[in-house]
Structures are given as structure tokens and as C-alpha cells.
């Protein structure tokens, strides 16, 4: 019996892919797998520390070099995705270098964890800017490019793949800034999916579970560490980037080494069709609805 393994199918052959925050951690795994599957990868990373300070061109270039050494095609980019000009520059570089753009993976992020009562304005603003504005910026300029192509009679099979988090979906104390940004990204993704479907563009989000610089403070038992290796998340992103996923849009997908799950969005629960007209009547009206509502998923439920 032969032990020869069949060659992997190049799922994103020739597709131009931007990956932000791709110098380390999860983004690095995304970029490497996309490159291994034939993608032409723009490896973006400012090279900042996990709180967003500083900068270093090394990480992005190292990943680009690694993709090229394995026979793929990649270029490095060190623009700041939290700036409007930086976001546009990344999209322009992809188009100028590879002749087009098919996939944007918005992954870059920072952490400034603090309890609400002690969070500084700058700690709020910086996290919202990188995560939420950074996701908007690249998506906005990519969407403009795809819309213009469509108006010119060309077809797209394009993807926006955003990064949400269980901290935003299910709430995590100490992360009001990060959780709010990630919840915002989940809603942004669903809106983008509705707006861009007519142009041949899908928009989905990943809520990854992985140990990176952003989660290195977590104390997990040894047997759990392998399940939170960043490479577990890369296959679903590669699939989303491929033509196979063209019928999937507006989804938030949880992915880690323990499970793959679809996060269900807000749903209208128990409803009273004769709402009270007076404040004094609200308590009696709303208590049965609260009692009948399905309990929310919490962080404790997913561990």
C-alpha cells in the first residue's frame, strides 16, 4: 500500500489576498496558508507591540520571505491600517503589485485591557481605532474597487474576512474597549454582507481562539495549549478566501482547536404585542418576557 499523500489542492490559486497584522500570531498563519494554497499575499504588519506602540518592518518582511522561500508570491507592507491613508495604501499596493484584489483579511489588533472605571480615554480610543476603524478602512477602499469593477461590467468573486472575538460576542470583564470593537465588527460584517452582495463580494467574520501575543497572559493547562495554536484558525480563513465559500456571507464563525461553530446573531425573543402605555405597567409586562428568554451564552459557557 502506497504511503504517498495526494498533493493539496491550491484553494486560492492566483487570488490576491491582503492580510493585516500578518507579521506574527494568527495573521502569520493566515498569510502562510494562503501563500501555500497559491494566493498572492500582501503581508501587512506595522510591527508594533501588543499595545500598539512602536513599529518594526521586520515581521512583515520575514513572513513575506517565508512565503517566497516556499515557492509562493508575497510582498510586505508596513502601513498603519488604523489611518485612512494607510488603509488605502495597502489596497493600492495589492492592485499595483498583483494586478487586482480578491480577498481582504482584517486581522490586525491591539490590547489595552482595563476595568471600565479606570480606563483612560486614550486606551479606549486606540483600541477602537485599530480594530474598528482599521477594519472599516481597508474594507471601504476594497469595496470601492470592487464596486467600480462591477460598474465597468466586470465580475467579482471577492471576500472580506473580518476578526471578531468571543470577548465581543459573549462579553469579557476588563475588555470594554476591545469587546465593543469586536461586537461592532460583527455588526459591520453583516451590514457589509448586505451592501456588497450585488457586487459579487461576501463578508464574514472569524472569532478565533488562539494563543498569541494578545492572549499570552492566559494561564491554560498544558493539554489546552495545543488546541489554541494559531494554525487551527487558518484553514477556515483559507476556505472563506476560496471560491468554495461564495454562497456564504454575513456569518460570524468561531474557530479554534476544540470546535468550529456558527455564532448566532441577536434574535427577537419573547414578545408582547400590546406594550404598556404607562411606566407603572412595565414591570408586570416585562417580567414574563425576561423569564421566558433564552439564557445568553457567556464566556464561562464556551470554555
178 is catalytic: yes
pLDDT at site 222? 66
pLDDT at site 5? 43
First vs last C-alpha separation in the chain:
42
Residue 297 within any structural domain of the chain: no
Q: Is 206 helix (H, G, I), strand (E, B) or coil?
A: strand
pLDDT at site 200? 98
Global pTM?
A: 0.90
pLDDT at site 112? 94
pLDDT at site 265? 84
| Beta strands 260-263; 252-255: pairing state | antiparallel
Ranges of residues in the chain whose predicted pLDDT is under 70: 1-8, 48-57, 210-226, 303
Residue 286 within any structural domain of the chain: no
Q: Is the CB of residue 44 less than 8 Å from the CB of residue 78? A: yes
Residue 10 within any structural domain of the chain: no
Question: What total of structural domains would you count in the chain?
Answer: 1
In what order do the strands lie in the sheet containing 260-263?
73-77, 40-44, 16-19, 103-105, 158-163, 201-208, 252-255, 260-263
Q: Is the CB of residue 39 less than 8 Å from the CB of residue 60? A: no
Q: Is 118 helix (H, G, I), strand (E, B) or coil?
A: helix
Q: Which secondary-structure segment (H or E) carries 73?
A: strand 73-77
| Beta strands 73-77; 103-105: pairing state | unpaired
Residue 290 within any structural domain of the chain: no
Q: Is the CB of residue 47 less than 8 Å from the CB of residue 78? A: yes
pLDDT at site 223? 65
**pLDDT tens column, 258-302:** 889 999 989 999 999 999 999 999 999 999 999 999 998 888 887
| Domain of 201, in residue numbers | 16-267
Phi, psi of 18 (to 5 degrees): -95, 135
30, 145, 170, 178: the catalytic one is: 178
- The CATH number for 58's domain is 3.40.50.720
Residue 295 within any structural domain of the chain: no
Looking at every residue in the chain, the average pLDDT score rounds to 90
pLDDT at site 219? 60
pLDDT at site 303? 61
Residue 141 within any structural domain of the chain: yes
pLDDT at site 210? 63
Residue 2 within any structural domain of the chain: no
Amino acid at each position: 500500500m502506497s504511503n504517498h499523500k495526494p498533493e493539496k489542492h491550491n484553494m486560492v490559486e492566483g487570488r490576491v489576498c491582503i492580510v493585516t497584522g500578518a507579521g506574527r500570531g494568527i495573521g502569520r498563519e493566515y498569510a502562510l496558508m494562503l501563500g501555500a494554497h497559491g494566493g498572492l499575499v500582501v503581508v501587512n504588519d506595522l510591527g508594533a507591540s501588543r499595545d500598539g506602540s512602536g513599529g518594526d518592518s521586520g515581521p512583515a518582511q520575514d513572513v513575506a520571505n517565508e512565503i517566497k522561500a516556499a515557492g509562493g508570491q508575497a510582498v510586505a507592507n508596513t502601513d498603519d491600517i488604523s489611518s485612512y491613508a494607510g488603509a488605502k495604501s495597502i489596497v493600492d499596493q495589492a492592485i499595483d503589485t498583483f494586478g487586482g484584489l480578491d480577498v481582504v483579511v482584517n486581522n490586525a489588533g491591539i490590547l489595552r485591557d482595563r476595568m471600565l472605571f479606570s480606563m483612560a480615554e486614550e486606551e479606549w480610543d486606540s483600541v477602537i481605532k485599530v480594530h474598528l476603524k482599521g477594519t472599516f478602512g481597508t474594507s471601504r477602499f476594497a469595496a470601492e474597487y470592487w464596486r467600480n469593477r462591477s460598474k465597468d461590467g466586470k465580475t467579482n468573486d471577492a471576500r472580506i474576512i473580518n476578526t471578531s472575538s468571543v470577548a465581543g460576542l459573549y462579553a469579557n470583564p476588563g475588555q470594554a474597549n476591545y469587546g465593543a470593537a469586536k461586537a461592532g465588527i460583527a455588526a459591520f460584517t453583516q451590514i457589509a454582507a448586505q451592501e456588497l452582495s450585488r457586487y459579487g463580494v461576501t463578508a464574514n467574520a472569524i472569532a478565533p481562539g488562539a494563543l498569541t501575543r494578545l492572549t499570552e497572559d492566559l494561564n491554560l493547562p498544558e493539554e489546552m495549549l495545543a488546541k489554541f495554536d494559531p494554525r487551527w484558525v487558518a484553514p477556515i480563513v483559507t476556505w472563506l478566501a476560496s471560491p468554495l465559500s461564495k454562497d456564504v456571507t454575513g456569518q460570524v464563525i468561531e474557530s479554534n482547536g476544540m470546535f468550529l461553530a456558527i455564532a448566532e446573531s441577536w434574535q427577537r425573543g419573547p414578545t408582547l404585542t400590546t406594550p404598556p402605555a404607562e411606566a407603572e405597567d412595565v414591570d408586570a409586562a416585562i417580567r414574563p418576557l425576561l423569564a421566558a428568554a433564552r439564557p445568553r451564552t457567556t464566556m464561562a459557557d464556551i470554555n
